[in-house]
Amino acid sequence: MGNSCWPKPVDNLPGSTTRPSSPGIIYIYIYIYIYIYILGNSNTNDTKASKNRNNNYQPSPAADGGAAHHVAACGQIITPNLKMFTLSELKSATRNFRPDTVLGEGGFGRVFKGWIDEQTYAPSKVGVGIPIAVKKSNPDSEQGLKEWQAEVKFLGKFSHPNLVKLLGYCWEEKQFLLVYECMQKGSLESHLFRKNVAEPIPWDIRIKIAIGAARGLAFLHNTEKQVIYRDFKASNILLDKEFNAKLSDFGLAKLGPIDGNSHVTTKVVGTYGYAAPEYMATGHLYVKSDVYGFGVVLLEIIMGLQVLDLNRPGGQTNLVDWAKPSLPDKKKLRKLIDPRLMGQYPSKGAYKTAELILKCLEPDPKCRPNMEVVLETLEQISSIQMHPKELKAKHKQDQQHTNHHKHYDHRSTRHTHHGSGGARGSGAGHKQNNYLNAARSY
């Protein structure tokens, strides 16, 4: 594959007057351009050993008539065709990065909502064309540069229904920007942990979200060059208008082990509470280190609480330590399930989910299931229906719930269900998350 698929360096952009002001900046730009160019050619240079490792892939005709690309599990590795936006275009699309367009903020920087034409990707007026999410790095941020590179390296070449689509990128005026499709429902974190959520996510939607996230993770683990996501958490699972889950933020992603090795050794990065114990202790990163993180998030999904929260009572600060001993016990498990569900879930499905969580949280990565097994188990759980007795109890609770609201509506008093008190308050988890997102180690 030639370099025709890749845009020219930023200093050749039409209409751009920005130029590097020092040799150091020039070297950075050259390094980035070479880095991306090598990436573009790396898709066709996979080793024979890595091909043998993944039997799910079947060759498909290459779009450019050259080397074959590979397809698997509703996803594929593609020839990157990302648009290089100018800074002025992204300023126009986001109304000059106005504060009221901010969608969120993380270690990389802020994320702004904008609008572009669906065909040309040119900036458009609010409500016209398609919405986009523009991730804008903090100026002079070393973390921003590293994550910008990783996003382009990994997400730029993957196409899968459960991975957020990267549309393009920009580097100009010492800033690094990434442009994604905009996900209408925001993050899973916002639905599980934040205050004033109109309605809690029902059980079947929670399992649907878990299945979508599992599909995305399974795809990454089964690419010819395995990818370890390394930062699996609720805030990185985004939801479209139908609550289909897509993984985002590939800033910490890393290629998996090669040449028969079981792991890669790297500096510990990630978010506390989600990282696997073997990785935190030794820096040894396994593909199944992601499975541990998945188990943590699945626990958050059924409990409606964040993994770490200093505002919870002693003994409950760490969700895994608190809940793990109770997961095998059906009676104790019922007390752990998010009370906002009001018992409206199949007890058999909840118990099967608890069993799966325990397997994912095994201390030894060799004992954890791979993501294909996790996905298959979740799909089985999704087919479990509520028992007739549970349906009868659900109907009774629904009637009581309706009468309860009628009573309070008559008094013009707002009433929402907050679970069993302060230990399960949804706001504390969000407050704590701001601290955790800043707690990465580089």
Maximum distance among all Cα pairs of the chain, rounded to whole angstroms: 73
The pTM score is: 0.74
> Looking at residue 423, what is its pLDDT?
40
* Chain length of the chain: 442
Runs of H (alpha helix) within 179-305: 188-192, 203-221, 277-282, 289-303
Q: Read off the amino acid at residue 345.
A: Y
Phi, psi of 67 (to 5 degrees): -65, 150
What is each CA distance from 424 to 206, 300, 330, 354, 385, in whole angstroms?
A: 18, 12, 20, 19, 27
Render 29-67 in DSSP notation, one character per residue. Answer: HHHHHHHHHHHHHHTT---HHHHHH-TT-EEE--TTSSS
pLDDT at residue 174 greater than cutoff 70 = yes
φ/ψ bin of 137: left (φ > 0), alpha (ψ from -120 to 50), beta (otherwise): beta
- Which of 55-64, 71-80, 113-122 shows the highest mean pLDDT? 113-122
CB 228 within 8 A of CB 253: yes
Mean pLDDT in residue range 63-86: 57
Inside any domain, residue 154: yes
Residues 359 and 256 placed together within one structural domain of the fold: yes
pLDDT at residue 43 greater than cutoff 70 = no
pLDDT by residue (tens digit) across 115-142?
999 999 999 999 999 999 999 887 666 6
Rounded to the nearest integer, the mean pLDDT of the chain is: 77
Inside any domain, residue 53: yes
pLDDT at residue 346 greater than cutoff 90 = yes
Residues 139 and 250 placed together within one structural domain of the fold: no
| CATH code of residue 29 | 3.30.200.20
Residues 334 and 217 placed together within one structural domain of the fold: yes
pLDDT at residue 42 greater than cutoff 60 = no
Inside any domain, residue 363: yes
What is each CA distance from 224 to 60, 84, 141, 285, in whole angstroms?
A: 14, 27, 32, 18
Lowest mean pLDDT among 3-12, 252-261, 389-398: 3-12
Residues 69 and 193 placed together within one structural domain of the fold: no
Inside any domain, residue 164: yes
Nearest partner of 293 among 273, 272, 274, judged by Cα: 274
pLDDT at residue 151 greater than cutoff 90 = no
> Looking at residue 1, what is its pLDDT?
39
The better pLDDT of the pair 347, 22 is held by 347
Q: What is the Cα–Cα distance from 3 to 244, expressed in whole angstroms?
A: 35
The better pLDDT of the pair 427, 107 is held by 107
Which residues are tagged catalytic? 231
| CATH code of residue 317 | 1.10.510.10
Residues 329 and 192 placed together within one structural domain of the fold: yes
Residues 340 and 196 placed together within one structural domain of the fold: yes
Inside any domain, residue 293: yes
The better pLDDT of the pair 368, 12 is held by 368
Residues 6+ apart with CB under 8 A from 242: none
Residues 6+ apart with CB under 8 A from 227: 154, 220, 221, 253, 254, 255, 256
CB hemisphere CA count around 128 (13 angstroms) = 9
Count of other CB atoms within 10 angstroms of residue 376: 13
Inside any domain, residue 358: yes
Mean pLDDT in residue range 314-320: 94
Mean pLDDT in residue range 372-397: 83
Lowest mean pLDDT among 75-89, 175-189, 233-247, 355-369: 75-89
> Looking at residue 153, what is its pLDDT?
79
Mean pLDDT in residue range 275-293: 96
Residues 327 and 282 placed together within one structural domain of the fold: yes
pLDDT by residue (tens digit) across 75-110?
666 656 789 999 999 999 999 999 999 998 876 778
Block residue for tokens 């998010």 = 338
Mean pLDDT in residue range 247-266: 88
Annotated binding site for ATP: 136
> Looking at residue 144, what is its pLDDT?
64
Residues 14 and 118 placed together within one structural domain of the fold: yes
pLDDT at residue 319 greater than cutoff 80 = yes
Residues 176 and 191 placed together within one structural domain of the fold: no
> Looking at residue 143, what is its pLDDT?
64
Inside any domain, residue 399: no
Q: Is the dihedral of CA 416, 420, 421, 427 positive or negative?
A: negative
pLDDT > 70: percent of the chain: 68
Mean pLDDT in residue range 250-266: 88
> Looking at residue 146, what is its pLDDT?
73
Q: What is the Cα–Cα distance from 441 to 438, expressed in whole angstroms?
A: 9
Alpha-carbon torsion angle 292, 424, 433, 256, nearest 10: 10
Annotated binding site: 136
Residues 131 and 249 placed together within one structural domain of the fold: no
> Looking at residue 411, what is its pLDDT?
35
CB 327 within 8 A of CB 358: yes
Of 391, 418, 433, which residue is a domain's last? 391
Domain span holding position 292: 186-391
**Number of domains the chain is built from:** 2
Inside any domain, residue 436: no
Of 137, 156, 181, which residue is a domain's last? 181
pLDDT > 90: percent of the chain: 52
Of 148, 181, 214, which residue is a domain's last? 181
Nearest partner of 166 among 131, 132, 213, judged by Cα: 132
CB 384 within 8 A of CB 343: no
Residues 6+ apart with CB under 8 A from 132: 93, 113, 114, 115, 116, 167, 179, 180, 181, 182
Residues 193 and 169 placed together within one structural domain of the fold: no
φ/ψ bin of 401: left (φ > 0), alpha (ψ from -120 to 50), beta (otherwise): alpha
Residues 291 and 363 placed together within one structural domain of the fold: yes
pLDDT at residue 28 greater than cutoff 60 = no
> Looking at residue 110, what is its pLDDT?
87
Secondary structure letter of residue 14 according to DSSP: T
